[in-house]
A and B are shown apart, each in its own frame.
Chain A
Amino acid sequence: MKIKLAQSAIEGSEINQLERVTGEELKRCYQCGKCSAGCPVSFAMDIPPTQIMRFLQLGMFDDVMKANSLWVCVGCLQCYARCPQGCSVANVLEGLRQMVLRKGEDHYGVKEISARFLEKAPQQAIVCGFRKFVS
């Protein structure tokens, strides 16, 4: 895969916004891979946590936004617990979700919830799901 690097993208407005929203410093990540190793859902991600951090360091914001990773992350904070640099990929992914949701774009809708799920599901799953997926 060929990657075109551009200083303007690395210092781009989206990357700046992401760092501002999350309070995370993307450049701290030195790619040890502990987050991807510990992540319970990395198997289901188009781009695993370590690579999310690298892509963002390289300014490849649009590629990251196309990945399912931001919607698959459950926010369990295992990545953060094991990061030697104190980075939280979970916070970064939440920041990316927020940047989508704040534009009013929902990832999931009320109508998509199955009746079978609503019958017995704990309220906290519904409230939490809406916080993560709906603007």
Chain B
Amino acid sequence: MKIPYYPGCTLNTVAKDFDLSAKTSALAMGFELAELPQWNCCGATFPLTPDNIIALTAPAKVLSNARLAGDTLTTLCSVCYNVLKRTNKVIRDDKERRSTINGFIEADYDGSLNIIHFLEILRDRIGFEKVKKAVKKPLNGLKAASYYGCMLLRPFEDMGIDDSEAPMIMENLVTALGAEPVTFPNKIECCGAHLAMNNEDIVTRLSGNVMTSAVNSGAEIIVTTCPLCHYNLEKSQPKVAESTPGYKNVPIVYFTQLLGLALGQNEAGLGFDKNQWDARPLLKKKGLL
């Protein structure tokens, strides 16, 4: 089974480990992520003012090209997922904006694409029970905190992947992989997002709240779905450790890295060497590597 796949700009560059481990894991689960032959950046933010049509043209172009490859499109980055899914809904439900957008991109796209996150393939198309059966190396004893952030979940009526206040999709996945899910109060809080560009203090505080909340709840490793969350957490960790007595740095990994590991895939296909806080010593200690 081949599923059309949109990597987005970040997975093609600084988050190659996310892309690589997802492709490796997909093959191990019996499907292939087929990268779109032609794609462009989604714009990395869904415009919050409905009259900002021009910001919808980049994602609309992605969608229009993707429709040529099939009726489904999957993606991994939370932001790409948010932007593509919300734009698709606008095109599907709003005739006036659809016609304006199509005029700009010289296409005739109708919003008929089904945008699904990689997590939804695992939960809805394959089923976590089957994922559990495919596990070759259960992640026994690994205490993993699933960090959702914002864009995967909100706004609920557009995203709908899971409850936006108390999501469980990632905990259910890590449970299927044999790990011990750690729930923590800040799992749906913002990491500081694009303020990484011009306001490091806020990012350090917000990412710090996320990490200390996870670690205080017993996490040994933090699992993410978003390259920007991943970056903000990784980068903030030294300052957080410095200002929080007793805090010990934890590895921050993509859910696909743990998935591939549990599916018995070779370390080389999972990109652990790219993480700033190396997860391998912890995984070795747990007998998982």
Contact = CB atoms under 8 A, between A and B. Distances in A.
12 contacts: A72-B202, A74-B193, A75-B48, A78-B150, A123-B10, A123-B44, A124-B8, A124-B10, A125-B196, A129-B198, A131-B55, A132-B194
Q: Ordered nearest first, which 8 A-B pairs have the shortest CB separation? A: A94-B48, A129-B197, A127-B44, A76-B190, A76-B150, A128-B194, A123-B9, A77-B154
Contacts of A117: 196-197
Interface in A32-87: 40-41, 43-44, 72, 74-78, 80-81
B197 A81 contact: no
B47 interface: yes
B9 A91 contact: no
Contact of A41 (B50, B52, B202): B202
Interface in A84-132: 88, 90-91, 94-95, 98, 108, 112-113, 117, 120-129, 131-132
Given A43-B205, A76-B190, 17 more contacts: A22-B48, A22-B50, A41-B202, A41-B206, A44-B202, A72-B195, A74-B150, A76-B150, A81-B156, A81-B165, A113-B197, A120-B14, A121-B196, A121-B231, A124-B80, A128-B193, A133-B197
A124 B77 contact: yes
Contacts of B79: 124, 128
Contact of B231 (A76, A95, A122): A122
Contacts of A21: 49, 51
A20 to B, nearest CB: 8
Nearest to A99: B49
A95 B243 CA distance: 36
A23 interface: yes
B45 A131 contact: yes
Given A77-B154, A127-B41, A121 B14 contact: yes
Q: By DSSP majority rule, is chain A's interface helix, strand, loop, or mixed?
A: helix
A41 B194 CA distance: 13
A98 B45 contact: no
Contacts of A76: 150, 154, 190, 193
B20 interface: no
A74 B48 CA distance: 11
A33 B193 CA distance: 23
A133 B195 CA distance: 10
B135 interface: no
Given A81-B154, A108-B198, A121-B231, A91 B48 contact: yes
Given A40-B189, A90-B48, A125 B231 contact: yes
B227 interface: yes
A131 B197 CA distance: 12
Nearest to A20: B51
Nearest to B159: A77
A94 B50 CA distance: 10
Contacts of A121: 14, 196-197, 231
Nearest to A40: B190
Nearest to B210: A40
Given A21-B51, A121-B197, A128 B9 contact: no
Interface in B37-88: 41, 43-45, 47-52, 55, 77, 79-80
Nearest to A131: B45
Interface in B1-23: 8-10, 13-15
A97 B41 CA distance: 23
Given A40-B206, A124-B79, A131-B43, A23 B50 contact: yes
A41 B153 CA distance: 19
B156 A125 contact: no
Given A122-B227, A124-B77, A128-B44, A74 B192 contact: yes
B18 to A, nearest CB: 10
Nearest to A91: B48
A94, A125, A128, most chain B CB atoms within 10 A: A125
Given A94-B48, A127-B41, A122 B15 contact: yes
